[in-house]
Structure formats: structure tokens, C-alpha cells
Amino acid sequence: MDTILVVNAGSSSVKFQIFEYANSDAPPRLIKGQVDGIGTRPRLRAETRDGKPLIDKTYAPQEVADGAAAIAAAGDWLRETQKVNLVAVGHRVVHGGPPYDRPVLINKEVLAQLDQFSSLAPLHQPNNLAPIRMLMTRRPEVVQVACFDTAFHRTHAAVADHYAIPERLYNEGVRRYGFHGLSYEYIAGRLRELAPTIAHGRVIVAHLGSGASMCALANGRSVESTMGFTALDGLPMGTRPGQIDPGVILYLIAQKGMSAKEVENLLYRESGLKGLSGLSNDMRDLERSEAPAAALAIQYFVYRIALNAGMLAAALNGLDAFVFTAGIGENSPTIRARVATKLAWLGVDIDEAANKSGGPLISKPEGKVAVYVIGTDEELMIARHTVSVLAQQPRMRSLLQMH
């Protein structure tokens, strides 16, 4: 069977899925898996689309020391036991910079250009690119496609993607990009299925997970995002601070004597919920804790979501719907309820029972703003984009026509 491998590579884990290579907007999902504990306690797990376990295997740390080795281990298992014929690999790549406003075939020139954006997303970009390099070496015949988290936001007006700095810097690429675009693109599509009228209106989507951001959609298109040049801005996250006065950075360098690398580590790995609470970057741990610092971190998270919702509602000139998605958004009724309470002034009024059950519609019928809980599926978006890119290639068009 011809298949597509979808790869979402992080710093300590690599998620992967196998889709049937079908000429369809919904290619069938066959296998879902991940390798986590990379470099410490590597573990490969995978299951079928209906949840049947296929493998649960541990490795010595040196056997799977990085993301490239993780993909190699998963690939070896897939070839040896699942007998899949890999036609293409679709990758999540966080930062596409100025050149890339849509998915692209990857070659050495594209890879070199994407590597230049690694400093703008140091938690993500290097890990996204490592499996690409490995596959170029080990499986050069396999087509690879890059799908960007920034691409969906390239519909922003100039007033939304500029900073108030000299124009020459904008021309060099210093601009507001926005991230989590694959997630927002999927949600925009799901809304068209669930509530077509609302999907054409004014919608705020809150992607709340370890990485967190919010997006304003008008008629399904991104018009504003809480994230900007890098994935540091906007909402507080697991280990990232969100919005912060640039003067704080100057102070840390000039007065505290911190190097750029030390500041980068502080902002990407030691701040956010982890920094505020001093306990954990995981919202589940904070919700279970009775520590005052944990309560403050949760309060701050909710407060900033509410503040940014007001900003996005202003960008939309009103609000018709609010959508919760991603790990926290999909799984924490408490956070959803607290956010809804803060947004009552906008017309948000949720049903307690519907919220506890997880929706998808959790607002009261009389509420002015429809509120949804919708699970995101970035991997399906990558599979769709990969099929679309391949369909534009002459050799692949003939293959697709056979399906």
C-alpha cells in the first residue's frame, strides 16, 4: 500500500502518523505513534487508527539520542513489520520566514533557507529539520514536503504584521508572523462543517497547550494572532513568558550581564507557567496543586487569555464565536469555565454540563457568542497538504489517478 508519513518532531519526542496515499481531502489514517524520552528513556509506541496497540518498545539512550535517530527507529519498524510503501513524508516546520506562504517540496536549497530561521524558533526549528536531513541521507528517493505553522497567517494586512520599527527591518523579515497555523487552518475547516454560518463570521480560536496562542478568524481567514516574530509573544505558555516588555531583555543584558544565549534559555525554557509557579510547566500539575504559586500561575494564564481576547475582538469589530482547542483547551473544563467567566462582557455564557462533557458546543442557547470545544488535527492538515503538493508533480499525478 502506498502511504504518506507525517512527522511532527519536537525536542524530546517525535510524533508520527501513517496515512494512505489517496487522492482525497481526508486521506485515511492508518497508524499513529510517537517516540518519546529521546536521549534519556527512549520509547517507541504505535497503534492502529482504532486504538489497537502495535508496538511498545524501549531503547538504550545512545540508540535514540536525537530526533533523527527517533525517526530512523520508527522507520525501520514500519518497513520491517507494516510493509508500507512510503511515497512521501510531510513535515511540520514551525517557521517559514518571509519566503514560504504555502507548503513546498524540500530540496537542499529549501533546507538551507529554513535553517536560517532556527534562531527564531530554537525550541522547534532545529528539531523539525533534523529528520528531514536524516531522510535526505537515508532515503533520498522519498519526496519530502514542508508544511509551515506561519503560512496560514500570511493573509494578515500590512497594519497587522508590521512592528513600529524602521521599514528596512521589515524588508529583512522582522515582522509579525504568527504560529500554530496548521491547527488554526484545521479548526477553520471543522467550523465550516459544524456551523457554516458561524464559520463565515468573526471567530476567536484559542490554541491552549504547552505552546499557546490565539487567532482571530474572519470568514475563515487569519486576520490577527497573539504571536509575532517568534513563538515567544502573546499568551504565557508552559516555559515561555508570552508578552513581555522589551526593556526587560535590555535590563537582563545590560544590568544583569546575561549573554544572549542565557536570555534565550530563560525565555524559552525557564519562564511561563514553570517560572511563575516554580513547580511545573504542566497545567495538570498546577490544577492538582494547592500551592499559592500554582494558583497565581493559573490565574495569570486565564487573565492573559481574557486580555488577548479583547484585543482580537477589537481586530474583528465584534465576536460571533469562541473556540477552545489543543491540550488544555480540549481537556480542562476548569480553564474553559474561568476563561468564559472573564469573557462574559463579550456575551460568552457557557452551559456547565456541556462544558464538563467536552462539547463540541458548550454555550447556552441564549448566549450572544457561540462557544465550541474542537479537537485539533495538525497531522491531518499536513497529510492533506502533502497530497496536494504531490498532485502538482507530473510523476505523482499519474500515481494518484490510479487510486
Cis check for the bond before 360: say yes or no (omega within 30 of 0): yes
56, 66, 115, 149: the active-site residue: 149
Q: Cα(377)–Cα(15) distance, rounded to whole angstroms?
A: 12
Which phi and psi angles does 244 have, rounded to 5°? -150, 140
How far apart are the two ends of the chain, measured CA to CA in Å?
11
Q: Cα(368)–Cα(353) distance, rounded to whole angstroms?
A: 18
3-class secondary structure, 381: helix
Q: What H or E segment, with its residue span, contains residue 225?
A: strand 221-225
Q: What H or E segment, with its residue span, contains residue 35?
A: strand 29-36
Residues forming a β-bridge with 204: 216, 322
Per DSSP bridges, beta strands 43-48 and 202-208 are: unpaired
CB 216 within 8 A of CB 164: no
Contacts of 161 by beta carbon, 8 Å cutoff, 6+ apart: 153, 175, 176, 177
Place of cell 537515508: 138
Q: What H or E segment, with its residue span, contains residue 257?
A: none
**149 in active site:** yes
Q: Which residues are the active-site residues?
A: 149
